[in-house]
Structure 1
Amino acid sequence: MKIHYFIIALIALLFANPLLSQSKSLQADEKTRILFIFDASQSMNGYWEESKKIDIARQFLISMVDSLECESNVEMALRVYGHQSPVPPQDCNDTKLEVPFLPNNASKIRQTLRYLIPKGTTPIAHSLELSAADFPTKQKGVRNVVILITDGVEACDGDPCEVSAKLQKAGIILKPFIIGIGLDVNFKSSFECIGNFLQVEHEEKFGGTLEYVISQVLNKTSAQVNLIDANGYPSETDVAMTFYNNVSGKVRYQFMHTLNAKGNPDTLYIDPLLSYNITIHTIPELHKDSVTILAGKHSKIGFDAPQGFLTIESNRANMYKDLQTLVKIDTQIINTQKINQSVKYITGTYNLEILTLPRIKIPNVKINQSTTTRIKIPQPGLATIFKPSHGPCSIFVQRNEHLEWIYDMQEKKLRETLTLQPGVYHIIFRNKNASLSQNSRKSSFEIQSGKSVSVRF
């Protein structure tokens, strides 16, 4: 009678829970597959408080199956271990997928649970390892979840922690749930490395534990990403965000950051069973690893992201239509920017290298919050160079007393027009057939803004 009351209470909680009532609307496009791994080893014949452990676990799992049967985006399956071979001897292969993932299989799971007789040992690692093949071929938009109900630790030679980590890293399952029935407190560490371990210390708390697990499994949880400006307000927006599964490294979500009608960061709904590595695709990018959220609680994830704009300007953009600027932090290139394009950057100091001829290097360019830093390129000129014959030809710009190489003409090209920055230039040329360095010929010229020159040898 006592168990019967708890089952009724569990079902009432499941359907009264406001988070569960939202699960369909939050996950209408996402299916959840739940594999129950059920301990039917010999020790489950033992008593836990007033009832046998097998009876308590069986009836509460049946109640869970009853409630999940109504969820259109949930599929279930049942794997059992320790129910085929009695001990002694110990059979560490005693694990079987009793009910596979099939439509409308809840009645089959209930029937199987009712007739289980605990007999054997506890091969948890082997059961987890085989569970990888229990889930149908991976599909997009499907979450694979394992819920293990047990009263004992691994009794064979396997390592459940290693197997669980391997399956999660491969993206086969999410972090499993382990519900411990009357376990010694010293065994807690043996399960925490496997997944989300929940120790049920008293029979009357079993219903609340299962209700908690279901709410975690079925619901996405609300969160917001605050991109904080230099004044401490979450005002930055319009930037892509990628959420990676912290364990598998695979992309889980990607959003474009948005402010709602009230100017606050928009609400996202994400899976609480994962921890995330989050990348905010500002320039440069911002990262946070191992971000966790609590199911049923609105989470705020903050990034310091003050930004300003940089524009590289030229009033002769037609001459520089393909011109790029290398934007660097120290010597690391973080972006290439086109001429007359306004690009947003995290506030700070940057080094610019504008790919004109010759290149213009501008160090320590400051970008400040919500302002535009403008860099103007001097108006170039044109130089048309005529070679008397085929041969190597190099162009240098004069920097005080030093000559800096900037360009090599093609050997077989006799004429070329170059867009050059104002300055003094020198050309060195040698006929392809000349056999002596003394046969080299030199010419010098000056480029002025907006003017053209012809250069001959």
Structure 2
Amino acid sequence: MEPLYKTIQRPRFFFLCFVISASFAVTAAWGQNKLQQKVPEKTRILFVLDGSGSMEALWHGQQSKMDVAKNILTKLVDSLRINNDLELGLRVYGHRFSRQANNCQDSNLEVPFAPKNHNTIIGKIKAIKPKGVTPITFSLLQAAKDFPATAGYRNILILITDGIESCGGDPCAVSLELQRKGVFLRPYVIGLGLQGGRVLDCVGKYIDSDNSRSFNKVLNKSIETSLAKTTVSVELLNGDGKPVETSVNVTFTNAITNVAAYEFVHYRDKQGRPDSVQVDPVPTYDITVNTVPPVIVKNPEIVNGTHNVITIAVPQGRLVARPEGRGNAFSFVVRQKGRSEILNQQRSGELYRYLAGEYEVETLTLPRRIFAVSIKADQTETIMLPSTGLVNINTLSPGIGSLFEILESGETRWVCHLEETAAQHSYNLLPGKYKIAFRVRQAAGSKYTAIKTFELKSGQTLNLNMFN
């Protein structure tokens, strides 16, 4: 079976804007040509560096882990001077108190974010001496305060450590909550020969480095990914596998936090090409095409720094229900075959698109009617319902009663209760045979229940007296 979606990488081309209509005022036309959602141009990167005592250990019998981290991080910070849209900050933990002190709040913002602070960061890195424990959770909580509350920035956190949490905190829960709040994007966690480092997968994108060369590679790759311009276009395929479906809401959801990151109405230009959307390359995404029912693609492959084309099969047909002649309008609910939850509520005469498949339609008429419907791609399925008739029922006095439909088999099916406080009742009913069972409230016994049968035709008005 062919997959629902496919990702294709193509050479990057000019980023076309996408829009969501947000106003019906006079300025709407202008607003439609204004970019509504975009990736911020400026980036903040906070390095959170492990300064605990274990960083003093030799790595493969050569330099200590701290010396390796210092050398590579210093060169990296120095190389980033040329990027004027980038600000850096440095937080270090476990470097001020001895391991014996077991200080689980040993974490400090050594260099706050500021333009051109590279020399300050390099100086602080060189001065670090490993000493204490590993309070990762506390450091993440403090890092939330390190990022200034200024709009127009992407906030990136890169955690460099050779150990896991040693202070009993839950770095996974804290990281997830901070991501949900938009404090920073999904962190990069770089392990320096870390045993059991996969436990930090839940904190962010964990990358293990076995030696100084791989550490240099993954650190630089993290920076490159953070700054890469990445675009995506979504091709929606019809029943013939052609990318001609469009005008559907599409949502890019952060796969970790389940929060919508980008949401737009799909568009194709006059040549039939879908437009291109720039996305932040740091998080991973799930894509929801909001057809009825929706199509969800989990974690599609998106290659950073290039243009990606993601194809998703969303073959749709149309459904409409109408009364015959000039009959009364009605509503109906649609369910997927074999499922109890309501998928959609629709009005008669309204044309609505659904994914190709098997459905059940239940009309909200008296009595209700249920139809099995097979919707085919690029076709319209039409349900015709007979026009109703009108029955006026006089019960002379308020009471308790019910209206039943008499089926061809002779069985009866409940339709509705009569209003207990009224003596006059009017119902628009589909054509058919019916029965009323009614007892006046003051009647002293069930044996006084009156039974009345009648037949109603389309367009007919019928006046009934329960006791004539």
**Structure 2 length-normalised TM:** 0.78
Q: From 394, 398, 404, give the equivalent of 1:386.
A: 394
Mapping for residues 109-120 of structure 1, pairs under 5 Å = 109-110=120-121, 112-113=123-124, 116-120=127-131
Structure 1: 5+ residue stretches without partners: 1-17
Mapping for residues 247-266 of structure 1, pairs under 5 Å = 247-266=256-275
TM-aligned CA distance change 1:108 to 1:325, over 3 Å: same
TM-superposed CA distance for 1:145, in Å, is 1.7
Q: 2:378 and 2:262 mapped to 1: Cα distance?
A: 28
Contact 2:50 2:134 in 1 (8 A): no
Mapping for residues 93-132 of structure 1, pairs under 5 Å = 93-101=105-113, 103-104=114-115, 106=117, 109-110=120-121, 112-113=123-124, 116-121=127-132, 123=134, 125-126=136-137, 128-132=139-143
TM-superposed CA distance for 1:239, in Å, is 1.2
Q: Give the aligned partner of residue 62 of structure 1.
A: 77
Q: Give the aligned partner of residue 417 of structure 1.
A: 426
Q: Secondary structure at the match of 1:303?
A: strand
Q: 2:39 and 2:239 mapped to 1: Cα distance?
A: 39
Q: Give the aligned partner of residue 144 of structure 2.
A: 133
Q: Give the aligned partner of residue 78 of structure 1.
A: 90
Mapping for residues 25-44 of structure 1, pairs under 5 Å = 27=38, 29=40, 32-40=43-51, 43=55
Contact 1:83 1:116 in 2 (8 A): no
Q: 2:433 and 2:374 mapped to 1: Cα distance?
A: 30
Q: Give the aligned partner of residue 227 of structure 2.
A: 218
Q: From 342, 353, 361, give the equivalent of 2:351.
A: 342
Q: Give the aligned partner of residue 417 of structure 2.
A: 408
Amino acid at match of 1:144: N
Q: Give the aligned partner of residue 163 of structure 2.
A: 153
Q: Give the aligned partner of residue 376 of structure 1.
A: 384
> After superposition, what is the alpha-carbon deviation per residue over 1:217-274, rounded to whole angstroms, capped at 9, x for unaligned?
1344112223222212222221112222221222222121222332133222212211
Q: Secondary structure at the match of 1:134?
A: helix
Q: 1:128 and 1:313 mapped to 2: Cα distance?
A: 63
The structure richer in helix per residue is: 1
Higher alpha-carbon deviation: 194-203 or 298-307: 194-203
- Alignment length (residue pairs): 424
| RMSD of Structure 2 on Structure 1 (CA) | 3.5
Q: Secondary structure at the match of 1:60?
A: helix
TM-aligned CA distance change 1:295 to 1:44, over 3 Å: farther
Contact 2:70 2:126 in 1 (8 A): no
Q: Give the aligned partner of residue 435 of structure 2.
A: 426
2:296 aligned with 1:287, yes or no?
A: yes
> After superposition, what is the alpha-carbon deviation per residue over 1:320-377, rounded to whole angstroms, capped at 9, x for unaligned?
2x533444422422111110111111111211111111111112x1111111111111
Q: From 419, 439, 447, give the equivalent of 1:438.
A: 447
Amino acid at match of 1:113: K
Q: 2:438 and 2:196 mapped to 1: Cα distance?
A: 82
Q: Give the aligned partner of residue 464 of structure 2.
A: 455
Q: 1:251 and 1:38 mapped to 2: Cα distance?
A: 30
TM-superposed CA distance for 1:287, in Å, is 1.7
Q: From 398, 405, 408, give the equivalent of 1:397.
A: 405
Q: Secondary structure at the match of 1:215?
A: helix
> After superposition, what is the alpha-carbon deviation per residue over 1:295-341, rounded to whole angstroms, capped at 9, x for unaligned?
11333333321110011012456622x53344442242211111011
TM-aligned CA distance change 1:62 to 1:193, over 3 Å: same
TM-aligned CA distance change 1:326 to 1:156, over 3 Å: closer
TM-superposed CA distance for 1:80, in Å, is 1.6
Mapping for residues 3-14 of structure 1, pairs under 5 Å = none
TM-aligned CA distance change 1:65 to 1:36, over 3 Å: farther
Q: Give the aligned partner of residue 197 of structure 1.
A: 207
Higher relative contact order (CA 8 A, sep 6+): 2
Structure 2: 5+ residue stretches without partners: 1-10, 16-34
TM-superposed CA distance for 1:52, in Å, is 4.8
**Structure 1 length-normalised TM:** 0.80
Report sequence identity in percent: 28
Q: 1:296 and 1:284 mapped to 2: Cα distance?
A: 33
TM-superposed CA distance for 1:134, in Å, is 2.7
TM-superposed CA distance for 1:64, in Å, is 4.8
Q: Give the aligned partner of residue 176 of structure 1.
A: 187
Q: 1:140 and 1:393 mapped to 2: Cα distance?
A: 65
